[in-house]
Amino acid sequence: MCTAVVRDDRWGRTYEGFSEDPEIVREYAGRVVAGLQGAPGNDDFLGRGRVVATAKHFIGDGGTVRGVDQGDNLATEQELLDIHGQGYISALEAGVQTVMVSFNSWHGKKLHGHRYLLTDVLKEKMQFDGFLVSDWNGERSAVLDELLLGSADAVVVATGSRVSRRIDVPGSELAGIHLAMEYLPQANRVVAGDDVTGQIVATGKHVVILGGGDTGSDCLGTALRQDALSVTSLDIMERPPDSRPTNQPWPVDPLLFKVSSSHAEGGVREYQVSTVGFLGEDRVQGLRVSRTVRTPEGRMMPSGQTWDIPADLVILAMGFTGPETELLSAQTGADITGRGLIARGDDFQSSVPGVFVAGDAGRGQSLVVWAIAEGRAAAAGVDAYLRGGTELPVPVAPTSRPVRP
Asked if residue 368 is part of any domain, the answer here is no
The pLDDT of residue 188 = 94
Residue 43 binned pLDDT confidence (cut-offs 50, 70, 90): confident
- The answer to whether residues 158 and 320 touch, using CB atoms and an 8 Å cutoff, is no
38 pLDDT higher than 60:
yes
Residue 136: give its domain's CATH number.
3.20.20.300
Domain boundary among 275, 297, 318: 318
The pLDDT of residue 329 = 84
Clarify whether residues 175 and 142 are in a common domain.
no
- Read off the amino acid at residue 306: T
Clarify whether residues 85 and 194 are in a common domain.
no
Asked if residue 328 is part of any domain, the answer here is no
For the chain, the average pLDDT equals: 92
d(CA 92, CA 48): 21
Closest residue by Cα to residue 54 from 143, 149, 132? 132
Asked if residue 254 is part of any domain, the answer here is yes
Asked if residue 252 is part of any domain, the answer here is yes
In tens, the pLDDT along 171-200 reads 999 999 999 999 999 999 999 899 999 999
Residue 22 CA neighbour count, 13 Å, CB half: 14
The pLDDT of residue 248 = 87
The DSSP output letter for 261 is H
Asked if residue 159 is part of any domain, the answer here is no
Clarify whether residues 170 and 136 are in a common domain.
no
Clarify whether residues 211 and 147 are in a common domain.
no
223 pLDDT higher than 70:
yes
Residue 191 CA neighbour count, 13 Å, CB half: 10
The pLDDT of residue 252 = 83
Clarify whether residues 134 and 186 are in a common domain.
no
The pLDDT of 378-391, averaged and rounded, is: 95
Taken in order 20, 23, 27, 33, the sign of the CA dihedral is positive
Asked if residue 398 is part of any domain, the answer here is no
How many CB atoms neighbour CB 21 within 10 A?
A: 13
The pLDDT of residue 150 = 62
d(CA 216, CA 220): 6
Asked if residue 371 is part of any domain, the answer here is no
The pLDDT of 53-69, averaged and rounded, is: 93
- Residue with the bigger pLDDT between 272 and 151: it is 272
In tens, the pLDDT along 298-336 reads 899 999 889 999 999 999 999 999 998 887 887 788 999
In tens, the pLDDT along 64-111 reads 998 998 889 999 999 999 999 999 999 999 999 999 999 999 998 889
d(CA 70, CA 62): 9
CA dihedral 77, 82, 85, 89 (to 10 degrees): 130
d(CA 386, CA 253): 37
Clarify whether residues 147 and 171 are in a common domain.
no
Asked if residue 386 is part of any domain, the answer here is no
Angle formed by the axes of helices 180-191 and 214-225, to 10°?
50
The pLDDT of residue 309 = 97
d(CA 70, CA 72): 7
Domain boundary among 318, 350, 377: 318
Q: How many domains does the chain have?
A: 2
Domain that holds residue 235: 166-318
Which of these ranges, 48-57, 323-332, 357-366, has the smallest mean pLDDT?
Answer: 323-332
Question: Which residues in 223-256 are b (16+ Cβ under 10 Å) and which e?
Answer: bbebebebbbbbbbeeeeeeeeeeeeeeeeeeee
Clarify whether residues 80 and 126 are in a common domain.
yes
The pLDDT of residue 405 = 57
In tens, the pLDDT along 146-169 reads 666 566 788 899 988 889 999 999
The pLDDT of residue 149 = 54
Clarify whether residues 171 and 144 are in a common domain.
no
Clarify whether residues 129 and 218 are in a common domain.
no
Residue 196: give its domain's CATH number.
3.50.50.60
Clarify whether residues 130 and 186 are in a common domain.
no
Clarify whether residues 201 and 313 are in a common domain.
yes
Domain boundary among 90, 118, 152: 152
Clarify whether residues 197 and 307 are in a common domain.
yes
E strand or H helix that includes residue 198: none
Strands (E) in 105-229, as ranges, are 105-106, 109-110, 131-133, 155-157, 163-164, 177-179, 206-210
